[in-house]
Chains A and B, each alone.
Chain A
Amino acid sequence: MRRRFHDLLCYAALGASALVAIYPVLRVIGVSLRPGDQLLSTSLRIIPRGATLGSYRSLLFEMPFPRWMLNSTLVAAAVTLVGVSLASAAGYAFSRYRFRGRHSGLVGLLITQMFPVTMLLLPLYVMLSRLGLVNTFAGLIVAYTATALPFCVWQMKGFYDTIPTSLEEAAGLDGCTGPAAYFKVILPLTLPGLAVTSLFTFMTAWSEYLVAAQVIHDQDLFTLPLGLRGFQSNMTTEWGLYAAGSVIVSVPAILVFLAASRWLISGLTLGSVKG
């Protein structure tokens, strides 16, 4: 009986927390469904009176929203690809080899997180300008990869640390060496780490605004955050479009999260324990 009561309390606590967790999301959905004249209303209804998909229609058919979506997807995919490759390569090196500069490299990675990003914007732009990367996706990809790298390298290193070298040696003894050993033996074990790394790099690229706003000068190259920002102007904010855009932008992010959630828990912990 006590157990049932305890369980009920747990359900209550979880329920309340979940409600708080999703409330703002529900509010955004609600605003995206509001008809044009109700945008600033004091109604607490999640589904407003006269709910309409008008904002979504406007967004998808009258605005270059699909273009922004394509751009963001392109950039995010490239960043994930590059980020994961670089992070796993570097993580492997830090884990398996003892080389000069290893310790300072690891500490250095942690230190990069401590610097406030705000001041880096101006010199970053100057650097990108010198490299001819202003107003290019390449520029964004470089910037985003670097933002996500330190955390990801630490994660991957922690991951490789939990895989005993004996496994690679055993595989070698069985005649399985090089790439075959990696893909058959090591890779499956690092899946949680790869999942976490992919998640972080993807989210970094998908949601970033400041750097993109400074670097991208062409409306055709707008990513989703830039496009959405355009709905908020100086004097009026088009809340319906902004909310609809926010909902659509959040969906892939949530899906990626859910897909990776299976590995998220083990991914973050195993990487950290040895870290």
Chain B
Amino acid sequence: MRRSPVPYLLIAPATAVLLVVVLYPFGYNVVISFSNMSMRHLRDWSWIGLGQYRKVFADPVFYGLLAKTALWTAVNLFFHVSFGIGLAVLLNRNLKGRAVFRTLLILPWAVPQYITALTWRGLFHPEFGDVNLILTRWLHLPPVNWLKTLGGSFTACAVTNIWLGVPFMMIVALGGLQSIPRQLWEAADVDGASAWRKFSHVTLPLLKPVLIPAVVLGTIWTFNNLNVVWLVSNGGEPADRMHILVSYVYRSAFYLYRYGYAAALSMVIFLILLVLGVTFLRRTRAEASGTV
């Protein structure tokens, strides 16, 4: 194709906006990560090489956070995908009134996150929250001290985030299912395949190309989800232990003024995701015939 200025003109406005809002701050962050910017050196910070990075890796807190973040991401993703696909399969059946169900099931996605995160925090309140009230009154189970224990807090954040993230996966899976021709399932029926075989041998493989990008995005978004974790755990409670990597970055920078350290930690998070993302995409591209 001849060299034309048109594509550059078309991407110019988008690039300009991204330069200002994303690239400049990113560059600034890279520079700061090599400095000693903190409370005592807010304006007169200086280059200290890899000092902050050394601190990040030397601090045992980091490894605990990494483990927590990995667990957080894995748990969320597992339920996002399984409930998402499950609900999509149900919605794909020829049931009357499925449009109503579909509308209701999208609701968690439609309501703004800061409202739902705080609502869920309220639902998990040990004395006035609905979860414990339902547990004690209708199920006659002992109440759980949700937000005051690490396990309880983690569960509360996870439930909230799963609730928030299922609709997205559901819609993606539904779209994927709708583009699978019915004849394939009918052919499998003729061969006498069970429901599970139909699912694993027909449905799942054909859903993969649609799900892969969604899963990658979902992983990245969950790994970096500050809002839900911060709002539901109220900034790391109990005991500043309900932190994943990103919420700890926020705390270090804005509450402890350790800007240099927080910048280095952000870079480490970024590099982890970058390596994981690239490796994963390379592997799936080798399997599928996708194009970029």
Residue ranges of A at the interface with B (Cβ–Cβ < 8 Å)? 7, 10-11, 13-15, 17-18, 20-25, 27-28, 40-42, 44, 85-87, 89-90, 92-94, 96-99, 102-103, 105-107, 110-120, 122-124, 126-127, 131, 142-143, 145-147, 149-151, 153, 203, 206-207, 209, 225, 228, 246, 249-250, 253-254, 256-258, 261, 264-270, 272-275
Q: Do A123 and B87 have beta carbons less than 8 Å apart? A: no
Residue B108 at the chain A interface, CB threshold 8 Å: yes
User: Chain B 108-136, CB within 8 Å of chain A: the 1/0 string?
Assistant: 11111111100110110001101001100
A contacts with B: majority SS: helix
CB distance from B75 to the nearest CB of A (A): 17
CB nearest neighbor in A for B21: A146
Chain B residue nearest to A99 in the complex (CB): B7
**A99 — which chain B residues lie within 8 A by C-beta?**
3, 7-8
Q: How many whole Å from A173's CB to the nearest CB in chain B?
A: 20
- Picked from A98, A149, A254, A267, the residue with its CB within 8 Å of the CB of B107 is A254
Interface hub of B7, B163, B179 (most chain A Cβ within 10 A)? B7
Which residues of the other chain, A, contact B114 by a CB distance below 8 angstroms?
207, 209, 225
Residues of B within 8 A of A86 (CB): 13-14, 17
Can you name the residue of chain B whose Cβ is closest to the Cβ of A150?
B18
Is B190 among interface residues, defined by CB-CB distance under 8 A? no
* A261 cross-chain contacts in B, Cβ below 8 A: 102-103, 106
Shortest Cβ distance from residue B192 to the other chain A in the assembled complex, whole angstroms: 15
Q: How far is the CB of B104 from chain A (nearest CB, A)?
A: 4
- Minimum CB–CB distance from B51 to chain A (whole Å) comes to 17
* Residue pair B217, A113 in contact (C-beta under 8 Å): yes
Are B270's CB and A114's CB within 8 A?
Answer: yes
CB-based contact A44/B101 at 8 Å: no
Least CB distance from B270 to A in Å reads 5
Contacts of A120 in B (CB 8 A): 21-22, 25-26, 29
- For the complex, is B245 an interface residue (Cβ under 8 Å from A)? yes
